[in-house]
Chains A and B, each alone.
Chain A
Amino acid sequence: MLKRRSMKEGEPGDYFCILAQGEVKISKHGKLLNVLRAGEPFGEMAYLSRKEHARGADVTVAAEASIISVPTRRLDQASESCRHKFDRAFMEILVERLSNANLRLSGV
């Protein structure tokens, strides 16, 4: 399978993505963290973090994936209620990913 690296840890992150189709792998220090499926966002941590706007992980995209990318500056210009809806959606994702990560950390 042809693979392409889409984001690299440490790079500045001024956009986030939503995976419309295909598969994306998130890894850090060469270790796999997560495999995302259609409908899931990635690269949002740089947008959401209060101080750190650099990428915290590597993202590898399968060649056939289609991706919607959203420049964060564009979202900053959206209405408050639109941004709030994005935030609520991100919150859900973060909660889910955090509880998965904690589950893995606790060795279950």
Chain B
Amino acid sequence: MEHVANYPVIRKLGEGATSEVFLCQDPFRNRQVAVKRIFPESLRDPARGRIFRKLFFTEASLAGKLDHPHIAQIYDAGIGEDSGYIVMEYVPGGTMERFCAPENLLPVDEVVNIVFKCTRALAYAHMLGVTHRDIKPGNILYAAEPADVRISDFGLALNVGAETTQITGVGSPAYMSPEQIREELVDHRTDLYSLGVVMYQMLTGQLPFKGTNKFSMIYQITQYDPAPPSSIRGEVPGSLDRIVRRAMQKDAAKRYHSGDEFAQELIEALRAGLGAAHRETFGDADKFAALRAMRFFTPFADPELWEVVEKGIWERVPAGSALVREGEPGDFFCLLVEGEARVTKNRKLLTVLGPGECFGEMAYLSLERRERGATVTTAKDSHVVRIRIADLEKATVACRSNVDRAFIGILVERLNLANTRLTSG
């Protein structure tokens, strides 16, 4: 095949029961994309053709809707009488299936980081009324790094806004929630359950339930409690056992209510000292939670905050280090995540900064003057995130305008204060 719907084919990536996927060149945007083409036979199938069409249509209808850094984006789609295609973001790494094999498991904290990103991505989709319904390792893609994940394949997605009956009997039994496998009505909590199963498998290299046929699977999923992950992999802490158990509660009402709540517990587990050896470096979930807690980032939506996570340079800085020096040219600004810093000019103390405060921002705010007006030195061992102005300029307009708005807020506060001081007394 040379073209799929005007997209020149580079090579075939894979094939499923009802469709095949090609790596294509998008000639207009000059980027590589994955194009899924549904087999005309599937659409013509007398028994299941209508269902296939509906599922395909569901995925196609999400084009341009789910714009999140951890969801594989759908750019374009088309469906006709006996043809259909979906143009998606190409994610070159592979799927999480690779890291479910017992001999190839990822470090525990990395699993938590990945699951964390998935919880935030699901929270985002759920907020838009979209339930995925087929969360499994094969639908979690990664780019070059395993932690650079994208949830993909919203082919079974359920859009709450659309008043249609749910199609049942589709999905992957091993990852299905009790309500889904019993073919009852499901809501977003079915995704949280399935993600719990994925987490279980990525931690242990085993599925929680191993039925040999659908009926034993239904029985186990609805009746059995799985062995805690720590009983299979000793280094899994009790906090993660509890998180998996909560996510996989048989009664949806006893699970996490939302992806946000799930994410919050993962962060608490990370903070409680999970994998102490790794604490010298910051995981993405850590970074995200640290920024989320800062007032500066309150108005940022998740996608923009992830951009900052990705663009920032995170550093641990011992007490007494000069981070910016008076008179030097400045091409970055910083946010103090933890610790304390002193701002001095001509060796005179101007102010003391605490967590959540920024410094060096005048280099960004002022177009002409990029020289540092003061020196900033850490007073305690600190965590600092450094944002290079050149990197920020590559961010989306949404991200940059949020950064600017945050700085404007700070400038307004300072100017109000200065004006009050100028006119009082």
Contacts and interface: CB of A to CB of B under 8 A. Distances in A.
Contacts of A31: 422-423
Contacts of B419: 28, 33, 56-57, 101
Contacts of B418: 98, 101-102, 105
B409 interface: yes
Among A48, A88, A91, find the residue whose CB has the most chain B CB atoms closer than 10 A: A91
Q: Is the interface of A mostly helix, strand, loop or mixed?
A: helix
Contacts of B401: 80, 83-84, 87
A50 interface: yes
A94 B422 contact: no
A84 B404 contact: yes
A13 to B, nearest CB: 12
Contacts of A45: 412, 415-416
A91 B404 contact: yes
Given A84-B400, A87-B401, A101 B422 contact: yes
A92 B368 CA distance: 10
Interface size band for A: 20 to 34
Main secondary structure of the interface of B (DSSP, over half): helix
A95 B365 contact: yes
Interface in B355-370: 362, 365-367
Interface string A69-100: 00000000000110110011011101101100
Interface in A25-82: 27-31, 33, 45, 48-50, 52, 56-57, 80-81
Contacts of A30: 423
B421 interface: yes
A81 B422 CA distance: 35
B367 A87 contact: no
Contact of A97 (B407, B415, B424): B415
A45 B415 CA distance: 9
A104 B400 CA distance: 31
B422 A90 contact: no
A57 B68 CA distance: 42
A91 B423 contact: no
B397 interface: yes
A31 B365 CA distance: 28
Given A33-B419, A45-B416, A80-B397, A94 B404 contact: no
B28 to A, nearest CB: 21
B411 interface: yes
A98 B367 CA distance: 15
B398 interface: yes
B246 interface: no
B164 interface: no
19 contacts: A28-B419, A33-B422, A45-B416, A48-B411, A48-B412, A49-B409, A50-B409, A57-B419, A81-B397, A83-B401, A87-B404, A91-B404, A94-B411, A98-B415, A98-B418, A101-B418, A101-B419, A101-B422, A102-B418
Given A95-B411, A101-B422, 12 more contacts: A28-B419, A31-B422, A48-B412, A84-B401, A87-B408, A90-B408, A92-B367, A94-B412, A97-B415, A98-B411, A104-B422, A105-B422
A-B complex: 4 closest residue pairs judged by Cβ atoms:
A101-B418, A94-B411, A84-B401, A28-B423
Interface of B: 362, 365-367, 397-398, 400-401, 404-405, 407-409, 411-416, 418-424
